[in-house]
């Protein structure tokens, strides 16, 4: 659920516009030209700017959505697949720059790096017959469909192109949720994954603490029907410009950001604020958010609740079934933080207790790290990335004695 960053969204924007005095040139006066440039670039343009090889691949799912994938190719090397959170995109893995982004680090460490884009975001607004701008049916999905259709299509594409039998998976927030859906409902995909690395993983939400989540949900329910599917927070550079009208408007946007993900300005590279607001929000369906809301109310990890009548038709029962996460056999590494109001440690521990093959269950000791610090934190390159990579490499090796793994971090 990552990237509730965008809950600064409409509410914060309105407040910022009312209380800030628009002064043209604020961005230009306060940030280096290269930062403004990065804020307006696509994922592939960023890779090209920083001299990394890059490719775009387009994948059609079995239910006819066309997804954009971005690759930093290293032919013959072990492939890895990185999947973003809600309202985010492939840019999240590189937009903080070559000295910070995990995708750069993995490529520089010898990997063939693939970055997915889930249906409905900036790079995956395509379908064989539906127009996202005209057909509301395009938006009739939640993260359930991402797990059932998007991830299998991405994984199969990576393995078919690279001719490897397995890949290593990195998923942030919703990128972990959709993996748990896939691995529990399509068990054959467990055998295609060396290791699943879940960053601030989301499944159970009974202890979620962020009030801004409920604010955004209230807005969604007011403007849509209970199960109406529409686009929410489509990517636009207007968001960046509004948040950078003045010092005051920027502070309002950052206030809503931190109220959603946990306050930790120490790890935020403030020079890169325009880049963050330039790439996010990247768009989603209202049903993704409503599905998460259902989990906060039920205390369970279950399929979408359409109401008793439709549930009976779809599921053969009045309430939606739980995802059978006890069937997940792929090795799972969980990385999470104390200061995360979304992926709360109590909920992650409940998840870990129900998954049968958790090989790493690591709650970082720093009390300030939040929902996005593992992704964007200024110190992550030397404080987390090497350890995560070392563990991944152990699972990528062909070793007879699996108990020889040293999983200490």
pLDDT the model gives residue 236 = 66
Q: Dihedrals φ, ψ of 66, to 5°?
A: -110, 115
pLDDT the model gives residue 2 = 43
Name the 3-class secondary structure at 309. Answer: helix
pLDDT the model gives residue 306 = 96
What is the Cα–Cα distance from 297 to 1, expressed in whole angstroms? 16
Q: Give the closest residue to 6 by CA, choosing from 242, 344, 299, 336.
A: 242
pLDDT the model gives residue 240 = 72
Is the domain covering 4-397 a CATH 3.40.50.1820 domain?
Answer: yes
pLDDT tens digits, one per residue of 178-235: 999 999 999 999 999 999 999 999 999 999 986 655 555 555 555 555 566 778 777 6
pLDDT along the chain (409 residues), means of 10: 42 44 68 94 98 99 99 99 97 98 99 99 98 96 99 99 98 99 99 99 92 58 60 71 83 85 90 92 93 95 98 98 99 98 97 98 97 95 97 81 42
Q: How far is CA 263 from CA 102, 268, 338, 341, 374, in A?
A: 22, 10, 11, 10, 14
pLDDT the model gives residue 220 = 55
Q: Could you tell me the residue ranges of all domains in the chain?
A: 4-397
Residue 56: strand pairing partners? 70
Q: Give the closest residue to 182 by CA, choosing from 57, 362, 62.
A: 62
Mean residue pLDDT across the chain = 89
pLDDT the model gives residue 382 = 95
Name the 3-class secondary structure at 332. Answer: strand
Report the run of H or E that residue 82 belongs to, with start and end: strand 79-83
Q: Give the closest residue to 139 by CA, choosing from 323, 332, 288.
A: 288
Residue 24 backbone zone (phi > 0: left; psi -120 to 50: alpha; other: beta): beta
| Residue ranges in 231-384 assigned as alpha helix (H) | 237-243, 247-261, 273-279, 286-298, 308-315, 345-354, 373-376, 380-383
pLDDT the model gives residue 218 = 55
What is the Cα–Cα distance from 156 to 169, expressed in whole angstroms? 13
The HSE-up count of residue 227 (CA atoms within 13 Å, CB side) is: 10
The residues that are catalytic are 173, 340, 371
Q: Quick one: tokens of 388?
A: 């995560």
pTM of this prediction?
Answer: 0.90
């Amino acid at each position: 659920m990552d990237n509730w960053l965008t809950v600064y969204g409409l509410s914060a924007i309105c407040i910022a516009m009312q209380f800030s005095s628009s002064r043209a040139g604020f961005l230009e006066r306060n940030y280096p030209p290269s930062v403004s440039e990065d804020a307006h670039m696509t994922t592939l343009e960023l890779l090209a700017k920083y001299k990394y090889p890059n490719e775009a691949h387009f994948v059609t799912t079995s239910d006819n959505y066309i997804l954009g994938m971005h690759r930093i190719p290293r032919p013959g090397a072990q492939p890895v697949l990185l999947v973003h959170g809600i309202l985010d995109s492939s840019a999240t893995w590189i937009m903080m720059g070559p000295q910070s982004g995990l995708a750069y680090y993995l490529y520089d460490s010898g990997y063939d790096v693939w970055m997915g884009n889930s249906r409905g975001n900036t790079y995956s607004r395509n379908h064989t017959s539906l127009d996202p701008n005209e057909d509301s049916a395009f938006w009739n999905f939640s993260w359930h469909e991402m797990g059932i259709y998007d991830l299998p299509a991405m994984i199969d594409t990576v393995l078919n192109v690279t001719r490897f039998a397995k890949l290593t998976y990195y998923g942030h927030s919703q990128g972990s949720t959709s993996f748990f859906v896939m691995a529990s409902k399509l068990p054959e995909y467990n055998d295609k994954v060396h290791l699943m690395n879940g960053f601030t993983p989301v499944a159970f939400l009974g202890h979620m603490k962020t009030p801004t989540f409920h604010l955004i949900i209230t807005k969604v329910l007011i403007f849509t029907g209970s199960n109406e599917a529409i686009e929410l927070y489509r990517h636009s550079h207007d968001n960046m410009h509004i948040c950078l009208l003045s010092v005051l408007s920027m502070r309002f946007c950052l206030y809503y950001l931190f109220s959603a993900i946990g306050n930790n300005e120490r790890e935020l590279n403030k020079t890169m604020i325009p880049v963050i607001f330039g790439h996010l929000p990247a768009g989603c369906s209202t049903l993704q958010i409503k599905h998460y809301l259902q989990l906060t109310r039920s205390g369970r990890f279950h399929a979408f609740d359409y109401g008793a009548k439709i549930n009976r038709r779809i599921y053969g029962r009045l309430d939606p079934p739980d995802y059978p996460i006890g069937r997940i056999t792929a090795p799972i590494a969980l990385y999470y933080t104390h200061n995360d109001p979304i992926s709360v440690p109590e909920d992650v521990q409940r998840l870990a207790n129900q998954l049968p093959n958790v090989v790493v269950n690591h709650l970082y000791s720093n009390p300030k790290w939040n929902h996005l610090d593992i992704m964007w934190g200024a110190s992550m390159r030397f404080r987390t990335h090497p350890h995560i990579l070392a563990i991944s490499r152990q699972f990528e090796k062909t070793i007879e004695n699996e108990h020889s793994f040293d999983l200490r971090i």
